[in-house]
Amino acid sequence: MELLDDDKTIDMAELFKIFGDSTRIKIINVLLDNELCVCEITNKINVSQSAVSHQLRILKTAKLVKYYKKGNCIYYSLADDHVKKIFMLGSEHTNE
Amino acid sequence: MELLDDDKTIDMAELFKIFGDSTRIKIINVLLDNELCVCEITNKINVSQSAVSHQLRILKTAKLVKYYKKGNCIYYSLADDHVKKIFMLGSEHTNE
DNA sequence: TTTATATATGAACAGATATTCATATAGATA
DNA sequence: TATCTATATGAATATCTGTTCATATATAAA
């Protein structure tokens, strides 16, 4: 493979940086197979509501999750299959 | 997929954290198909020798690269195919 | 319309991280 | 041995990042 240009290099680093935090990994983990509202996410992982919300914003900004409103709640899910793939590959590597 | 335990979650985050830096991405990039000595790496990417060395240490500690001495030089290469896979998957995602 | 619930957000703070600079180490060569 | 080249490393510094706390916003329910 050829040498990536600087922009692409930075974009890749930014992408991995998002996966490089325990709270965000936990959030992605619980969203792998379901959509969940913030409240449910907060209950499933051991992190404060505020921290979850802050991290969801980062995931949202990076377009790694999507969401919709339903009444009082906001349901989040993974943006596309790529997110799951990256997660699973990381998971595999970590098992060794 | 089930909920990962905390240790595994942290390990995964640590793994991705290592990919989450431009300098390290550049280093992995030039090592994708070749082994190179520090000097060659430094020449190929636009980063100081010291910074390259510091980052190689991090990659080394995480067992993402391996190396051997030959005379004056130390040759680095990717530790296994997983590293390349993760890199390529990130690269694909970044193209979209 | 008052109250309760769900979510988001800004400020402040603490901890982590990457680079630079200076220098150490070690092997090779003169 | 003295010198040159390749690599590593520690300290200092600046920047970035994640959490907490307090609070705002918005919808729902009473």
Chain B positions touching A91 (Cβ under 8 A) are 1, 4, 8, 12
Residue A40, domain extent? 6-95
Q: Is A81 part of any domain?
A: yes
pLDDT, tens digit, for every residue of B48-75?
999 999 999 999 999 999 999 999 999 9
Q: Is A18 part of any domain?
A: yes
- Does B82 score more than 70 pLDDT? yes
Q: Is the CB of B73 under 7 A from strand D?
A: yes
pLDDT, tens digit, for every residue of A20-50?
999 999 999 999 999 999 999 999 999 999 9
Strand C-proximal residues of B, range 45-84, CB below 7 A, are: 47-48, 50-51, 54-55, 58, 69, 71-72
- Does A62 score more than 80 pLDDT? yes
Res B19: pLDDT: 98
- Does A96 score more than 70 pLDDT? no
Q: What is the mean predicted confidence (pLDDT) over B67-89?
A: 96
Answer whether B64 touches A (CB < 8 Å): no
Number of domains comprising chain A: 1
CA atoms within 13 A on the CB side of A36: 20
Measured distance CA(A72)–CA(A86) in Å, rounded: 31
Res A95: pLDDT: 77
Q: Is the CB of B70 under 7 A from strand D?
A: no
* CA distances (Å), origin A26, targets A51, A92, B31, B42, B90: 12, 16, 31, 36, 19
> What's the whole-model pTM score?
0.94
Q: What does the buried/exposed string (b/e) look like for A15-52 if buried means 16 or more CB atoms within 10 Å of the residue's CB?
A: bbbbbbbbbbbbbbbbbbeeebbbeebbebbebeeeeb
User: Checking phi first, is residue A89 left (phi over 0); if not, alpha (psi -120 to 50) or beta?
Assistant: alpha
Least CB-CB distance to B25: which of A13, A33, A85? A13
Instruction: For chain B, state the CA radius of gyration.
Output: 14
Q: Is B14 part of any domain?
A: yes
At B3, the pLDDT band (50, 70, 90 cuts) reads: very high
Q: Is A56 part of any domain?
A: yes
Suggest the residue from B12, B82, B85 to mutate for an interface test with chain A (most A CBs closer than 10 A): B12
Q: Is the CB of B74 under 7 A from strand D?
A: yes
Res B96: pLDDT: 55
Measured distance CA(A19)–CA(B81) in Å, rounded: 20
At B95, the pLDDT band (50, 70, 90 cuts) reads: confident
The answer to whether B47 and B23 are in contact (CB under 8 A) is: yes
Q: What is the CATH number of the domain that holds B68?
A: 1.10.10.10
Q: Is the CB of A25 under 7 A from strand D?
A: no
The answer to whether A36 and A75 are in contact (CB under 8 A) is: yes
Q: What is the mean predicted confidence (pLDDT) over B69-88?
A: 96
Q: Is A1 part of any domain?
A: no
DSSP three-state, residue B65: strand
Q: Is B22 part of any domain?
A: yes
Share of chain A above pLDDT 70, in %: 99
Give every CB contact of residue A33 below 8 A, 6+ residues apart in sequence.
B1
Q: What is the mean predicted confidence (pLDDT) over B8-21?
A: 98
